[in-house]
Amino acid sequence: MKCPVCNHENGNASFCERCGSKLAPSSPTSDAVQNQQSAAAEPEYTRWSSTQATPSHVPGSSNTHSAARPVEHVSDSSSTDSHSSAGDNNANQWNNIVQNEKVQQAKEVSKQYLSYFLSVLTRPYQTMKTVGEQHSLNGWITMALIAVLTSTYFLITFSRMDVDGLFIGGFIRPLLFTAISLIAAIALMYALLKIEKITFRPKTLVAQFGTLLVPAVTSLVLANLFIVISYSIAIFFLVVSYLIIFVSLNTVLFQYPLNRTKAAIDSMYSVLIANVVLFYILYRLLGATIIGLIGLMFSPYGRL
């Protein structure tokens, strides 16, 4: 018989051999009920232990979680890729917007310059007297066109004569030399007006000079067109375009009040010095090339 206090097995004794507690007589009925209760309790404990078991003790739990983890990583990587692709799309859209804005601005500037060019070509002197600082950009564009058209003229000429160093000598060098000459003309006008102590705005000066140079652009366009017909006609328009540069410099200067009695030097000599310096710069930079091309007018090859 089992002691109800210390669970010691005592056989058929009335008192427990270990703790001395009184033992109740056992009967087959009570033993059967106790066995049924223990049997009924065992599945309940088994179910409770199975539900409370950690994932590491449950069979197949490690495989389940290990299989689920890559799915999470895949979702993270896919979300990262989606974010990066979205960022790339946003960057591409922004670049397209910026490029479209630049294209639109370039189109707008070209339209404005074309209308400005056509209006100036008919009456350059009258337009020069009305331009302001806002037209300085048009002046710079006109000077850039003169430099590009001049270099294009020399490039076409040298290509027909099979001259070595075609791109450097026929395009880059005339482009730089013409640009330097035009900037030197602006610097001479600026210096002379400062010597005369005349108040003026530099941007307005650029706008006025560029306005008077519009006929030079037309002359250079004709020079490039006639170069495939006759060198003599092409050279004529080239020389006219450079004469327009000198005329423009003098016209801009003389529309200011230069007859100041307190000036250190008479205005006549100041303007003459400016013209001589500009002529010397053009001669040093482009004189040899232009003189060589003028020689083609008297050669049989130049009378095509």
**Placement of tokens 């000429």 in the chain:** 157
pLDDT of res. 107: 73
Alpha helices in the chain (DSSP H): 28-52, 61-122, 124-128, 136-160, 166-167, 173-195, 202-212, 214-226, 231-254, 267-282, 288-295
pLDDT attached to residue 202? 92
CA proximity to 157, closest of 239, 236, 231, 237: 231
Threshold 0.75, pTM exceeds: no
% of the chain beyond a pLDDT of 70: 63
- Give, as one character, the DSSP assignment of residue 13: -
Phi-psi region of 243 (alpha: psi -120 to 50; beta: other; left: phi over 0): alpha
* DSSP-derived 3-state class of residue 28: helix
d(CA 227, CA 304): 9
The least confident of 145-149, 162-166, 279-283 is 162-166
Task: Kindly report which listed range (146-155, 166-175, 265-274) carries the lowest average pLDDT score.
Answer: 166-175
Instruction: Dump pLDDT digits (tens) for 84-136.
Output: 666 667 767 676 666 677 677 677 777 788 888 888 898 999 999 899 888 99
pLDDT of 23-48, one tens digit each?
A: 766 555 555 545 555 455 444 444 44
* Cβ-proximal residues to 24 (8 Å cutoff; 6+ apart), any chain: 4
Distance CA 161, CA 302 (A): 10
Nearest 5 degrees, angle CA 140-CA 144-CA 147?
Answer: 140
DSSP secondary structure string for all residues of 68-104: HHHHHHHHHHHHHHHHHHHHHHHHHHHHHHHHHHHHH
Q: pLDDT per residue over 202-259, tens digit each? A: 999 999 999 999 999 999 999 999 988 887 888 899 889 999 999 999 999 998 887 6
Which H or E element spans position 262? none
Q: Can you give the pLDDT at residue 86? A: 64
Work out the average pLDDT over 262-269.
75
Average pLDDT, the chain: 75
Tokens 């040093």, residue? 284
CA–CA gap between residue 130 and residue 122 (Å, rounded): 14
Confidence of residue 169 (pLDDT cuts 50, 70, 90): low
pLDDT digits (tens, 9 = 90+) for 44-74: 444 444 444 444 444 444 444 444 444 444 4
